[in-house]
Structure 1
Amino acid sequence: MRKMQIMIVTFVLLFSLAPKKEASSHIFTDVPKNHPNYSAIMYLVEQGVLTPQKRFGLNDKVTREEVAIMVAKATGLDGTKTKTKFKDVPAGRFSSGYINSAAKAKIINGYPDGTFKPTQNVTRGHMAAFIANAFHLKEEKNITFKDVPKGSTSYHAVRKLAHANITSGYPDGTFKPNQTLTRSHIAAFIARAMDPSFRPVPPVPVTRGINFSMNLSQVKKIEASSPAVFMGQFHEGNLVALVYRVTKYGYNAELIYIFENNKLSAIAYDFLADDTYYHSSDEIETIYVILNDNAKNELGTPLYEGQEGYTEFISVWEKKGYHALLQVHDKEVYTSGELIFMPY
Structure 2
Amino acid sequence: MKKWIVLLVILFTFLMMTPVSAQNTVYKDVPPNYPSYGEIMFLLERGVVTPRQTFGTGKLVTREEAAVLLARAVGLKGDPRQTKFSDVASSRNSSGYVQSAVERDIISGYLDGTFRPEGLVTRGHMAKFLVQGFQLTNEQDITFSDVGQSTAAYPFIRKLIPSQITIGFPDGTFRPDENLTRAQVAIFLARALGYTKNQQPQEVKPTLLPKSIQLGQSQTQVVTLSPGRLVEQQSDTLIFADVPFLENFLTANYEFVNNQLVAVHFTKSVSKQTTKDELKSEFENVTSALTAVYGNPAYAELNWVKEGADEFLYADWYELQQEFIVFSVWNSTLPEFNVTINRPGFYE
Cα gap change, 1:33 to 1:199, in 2 (>3 Å): closer
1:330 maps to what in 2? none
Work out whether residues 42 and 195 of structure 2, in 8 Å CA contact, stay in contact via their aligned partners in 1: no
Q: Give 1:24 shift.
A: 5.4
In structure 1, the partner of 2:132 is 133
Q: Give the Cα–Cα distance (whole angstroms) in 2 for the partners of residues 199 and 174 of structure 1.
A: 25
Given that residues 192 and 199 in structure 1 are in contact (C-alpha distance below 8 angstroms), is that contact kept between their aligned partners in structure 2? no
Aligned to 2:178: 179
CA distance in 2, matches of 1:199, 1:184: 18
Q: How far has the Cα of 1:113 moved from its partner?
A: 1.3
Residue type of the alignment partner of 2:194:
D
Q: Hey, what does 2:40 align to over in structure 1?
A: 41
Measured against aligned partners, the alpha-carbon deviations of 1:109-154 in whole angstroms (never above 9, x if no partner) come to 1111111111111100001111111111011111242222103210
Distance 2:108 2:144 in 1: 24
1-structure distance, mates of 2:75, 2:198: 21
User: Quick one: distance in 2 between partners of 1:199 and 1:110?
Assistant: 38
Map of 1:95 onto structure 2 = 94
Once residues 187 and 61 of structure 2 are traced to their aligned partners in structure 1, the CA distance between those partners, rounded to angstroms, is 13
3-state SS of the aligned residue for 2:71?
helix
Deviation by residue 1:304-344 (Cα, 9 ceiling, x = unmatched): xxxxxxxxxxxxxxxxxxxxxxxxxxxxxxxxxxxxxxxxx
* SS of 1:197 mapped into structure 2: coil
8 Å Cα contact 2:39-2:195 kept in structure 1:
no
Give the conservation status (yes or no) of the 8 Å contact 2:23–2:32: no
Match of 1:161 in 2: 160
Contact kept in structure 1, 2:63 and 2:121, CA below 8 Å: yes
Are 2:64 and 1:65 aligned?
A: yes
Across the aligned residues of Structure 1 and Structure 2, the Cα RMSD in angstroms comes to 1.7
Amino acid at match of 2:104: A
Distance 1:198 1:126, change over 3 A: farther
2:51 maps to a residue whose letter is P
Asked if the contact 1:82–1:96 (Cα under 8 Å) also holds between the matched residues in 2, the reply is yes
Uncovered stretches (5+) of structure 1, i.e. residues with no partner: 1-20, 201-344
Structure 1 partner of 2:169: 170
What residue is the counterpart of 1:16 in the other structure?
A: none
Tell me the secondary structure at the aligned position of residue 22 of structure 2: coil
Contact 1:169–1:175 under 8 Å retained in 2: yes
User: More deviation in 65-74 or 137-146?
Assistant: 137-146
Q: How many residues align?
A: 180
Query: Structure 2: which 5+ runs fail to align?
Result: 1-19, 200-348
Instruction: State the match for 2:77 in structure 1.
Output: 78
Shift of 1:171: 2.1
2:23, 2:31 within 8 Å by CA — same for their partners in 1? no
Q: CA deviation at 1:196?
A: 4.3
Amino acid at match of 1:174: T
Match of 1:289 in 2: none
SS of the counterpart of 1:55?
A: coil
Alpha-carbon distance between aligned partners in 2 of 1:67 and 1:199, rounded to the nearest angstrom: 26
How many angstroms apart in 1 are the aligned matches of 2:37 and 2:171? 26
CA shift digits 1:153-179 (9 cap, x unpaired): 100111111121110111222100010
Cα distance, 1:199 vs structure 2:
9.2
Counterparts of 2:198 and 2:173, CA distance in 1 = 19
Give the structure, 1 or 2, with the largest relative contact order (CA under 8 Å, sep 6 or more).
2
Q: Once the two structures are aligned, what percentage of the paired residues are identical?
A: 48
Aligned to 1:117: 116
Shift of 1:64: 0.8
Whether contact under 8 Å (2:128, 2:156) holds in the other structure is yes
